[in-house]
């Protein structure tokens, strides 16, 4: 049996009377690509926020490679090898696309790295451009990030998390705002980059066609609870699950 990369047990959090997480238990093994689905307000973003230290659970454990990470700061959890991209991209819109990746790389090197070394240090620029090439963003490298279409911004946010070479990458709706036409292209790029780098990933996704095509496993959340956990083909065939996720039969 392989060693789990992530073990979540009994995870619980309420916001007043709202149940954002209730006894959530999940084990993820290296190489998995787990799709997280569920209606608005189901607790998908909360789940990612708990794992990455942005929220602290009332109860439960979270282990990354066997190490308990509850109580660690987001920065400490990132340093252990857990990356994160956001539902709303966290970009510097006036900086260029390349500079955004450079800042991400510099931050990893420590708080004062950008003071000690110039941002456009050649080795760092090379590392940034490799990632931009991998994500099809190199042609846009010198444009301000704010000029990218929404889909491009999402992809850049993912590329910045990816540039830090996490072992586990958590993505919140990486294809929202990407046109239906480009969605599969973006996911093809992303999934290939993850495989090549040997990165295990969890991604929140609303489009069931995307989940069916790319996820090796799907977690269904509803009212902070895990409603189902299994192979996408099986789980998404279930009429009750479909109703819970999409509101339609």
Site residues (vs Mg ion, CB under 5 A): 44-45
Q: Which is nearer to Mg ion, 44 or 153 (CB)?
A: 44
Encode 223-234: b = buried (16+ Cβ within 10 Å), e = exposed: bbebbbbeebee
Could you tell me if 85 and 160 are in contact, meaning their C-beta atoms sit under 8 angstroms apart? yes
Could you tell me if 21 and 13 are in contact, meaning their C-beta atoms sit under 8 angstroms apart? yes
Q: What angle do CA 213, 186, 93 make, to 5 degrees?
A: 145
Could you tell me if 106 and 164 are in contact, meaning their C-beta atoms sit under 8 angstroms apart? no
Task: Show the binding pattern over residues 3-42: x = contacts ligand ADP (CB under 6 A), - = does not.
Answer: ------------x--x-x-----------------x-xxx
Identify the H or E element spanning 154: helix 150-163
Based on the shown chain and the rule CB under 6 A, indicate whether residue 44 belongs to the binding site for ligand ADP: yes
User: Considering the complex, what minimum distance in angstroms separates the CB of residue 15 from ligand ADP?
Assistant: 3
Based on the shown chain and the rule CB under 6 A, indicate whether residue 45 belongs to the binding site for ligand ADP: yes
Q: Which is nearer to ligand ADP, 44 or 217 (CB)?
A: 44
Q: Which is nearer to ligand ADP, 43 or 166 (CB)?
A: 43
Encode 77-91: b = buried (16+ Cβ within 10 Å), e = exposed: bbeebbbbbbbebeb
Based on the shown chain and the rule CB under 6 A, indicate whether residue 46 belongs to the binding site for ligand ADP: yes
Based on the shown chain and the rule CB under 6 A, indicate whether residue 58 belongs to the binding site for ligand ADP: no
Stretch that binds ligand ADP, among 24-32, 44-52, 136-144, 194-202 (CB under 6 A): 44-52
User: Considering the complex, what minimum distance in angstroms separates the CB of residue 14 from ligand ADP?
Assistant: 9
Per-residue tokens: 205: 């996704």
Based on the shown chain and the rule CB under 6 A, indicate whether residue 88 belongs to the binding site for ligand ADP: no
What phi, psi does 69 have (nearest 5°)?
-110, 0
DSSP bridge pairs for 204? 36, 172
By CB under 6 A, what part of segment 131-150 binds ligand ADP? none
* Binding partner at 43 among Mg ion, ligand ADP, none, C-beta below 5 to 8 Å by kind: ligand ADP
Identify which of 132, 149, 150, 154 has the alpha carbon closest to the alpha carbon of residue 141.
132
Q: Report the residue closest to Mg ion, judged by CB.
A: 45
Among 4, 6, 34, 43, binds ligand ADP (CB under 6 A): 43
Based on the shown chain and the rule CB under 6 A, indicate whether residue 69 belongs to the binding site for ligand ADP: no
- Site residues (CB under 6 A) for ligand ADP? 15, 18, 20, 38, 40-46
């Amino acid at each position: 049996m392989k060693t789990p990369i992530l073990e979540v047990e009994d995870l619980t959090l309420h916001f007043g009377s709202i149940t954002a997480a209730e006894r959530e238990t999940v084990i993820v093994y290296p190489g998995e690509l787990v799709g997280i689905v569920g209606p608005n307000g189901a607790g998908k973003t909360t789940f990612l926020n708990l794992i990455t230290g942005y929220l602290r659970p009332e109860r439960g454990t979270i282990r990354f490679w066997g190490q308990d990470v509850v109580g660690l700061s987001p920065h400490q959890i990132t340093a252990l090898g857990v990356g994160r991209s956001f539902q709303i991209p966290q970009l510097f819109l006036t900086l260029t696309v390349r500079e955004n990746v450079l800042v991400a790389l510099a931050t990893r090197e420590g708080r004062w790295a950008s003071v000690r070394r110039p941002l456009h240090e050649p080795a760092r620029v090379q590392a940034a451009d490799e990632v931009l090439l991998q994500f099809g963003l190199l042609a846009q490298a010198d444009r301000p990030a704010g000029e990218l279409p929404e889909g491009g911004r999402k992809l850049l946010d993912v590329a910045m998390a990816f540039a830090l070479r996490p072992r586990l990458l958590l993505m919140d709706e990486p294809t929202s705002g990407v046109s239906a036409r480009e969605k599969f292209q973006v996911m093809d790029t992303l999934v290939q980059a993850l495989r090549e780098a040997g990165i295990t990933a969890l991604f929140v996704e609303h489009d069931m066609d995307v989940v069916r095509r790319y996820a090796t496993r799907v977690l269904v959340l509803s009212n902070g609870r895990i409603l189902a956990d299994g192979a996408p083909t099986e789980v998404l065939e279930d009429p009750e699950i479909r109703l819970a996720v999409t509101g339609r039969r």
